[in-house]
Structure 1
Amino acid sequence: MSSGVVLVVLGGFLIGGAWSIWKADHDTKGRTGPQVGFAVLLLVAALLATVAGVLRLV
């Protein structure tokens, strides 16, 4: 398995983690600041991993 495929799969897992954190909000308070920050951080890491994987495959 090439490193490009591994990076694309890793990006998919990170996108799933970002989505999971984004959906886990408190009933009355909504999303907290650190929760939003960590979800955005995971999303950026996922996008970087996915783009790097696609570029490795090309």
Structure 2
Amino acid sequence: MSAGLPLLLLGGFLLGGAWSIWRTDDDDGRRTGPQIVFAVILLVAAVLASAAGVLRLI
């Protein structure tokens, strides 16, 4: 079995986590610094995992 499909699934999972953290906010609607940093880290990891998955499938 190719490792491409699990990497794509991992990328989707990480993308969902980044979206979940990004849309979570306090009562005033402002995002905190650590919240932004963690969402960006998850987004970068999702892009890398998805790109690796696509390249493994090709």
TM-score by length of 2: 0.95
Superposed CA RMSD: 1.0
TM-superposed CA distance for 1:2, in Å, is: 2.0
- The CA distance in 2 between the partners of 1:56 and 1:43, in whole Å, is 20
Could you list the structure 1 runs, at least 4 aligned residues long, displaced by more than 2 angstroms after superposition.
Answer: none
Question: What is the match of residue 20 of structure 1?
Answer: 20
Question: What is the match of residue 43 of structure 1?
Answer: 43
Show structure 2 runs of 5+ residues with no match: none
1:53 and 2:53 matched: yes
Question: What is the match of residue 11 of structure 2?
Answer: 11
Identity in percent: 67
Show structure 1 runs of 5+ residues with no match: none
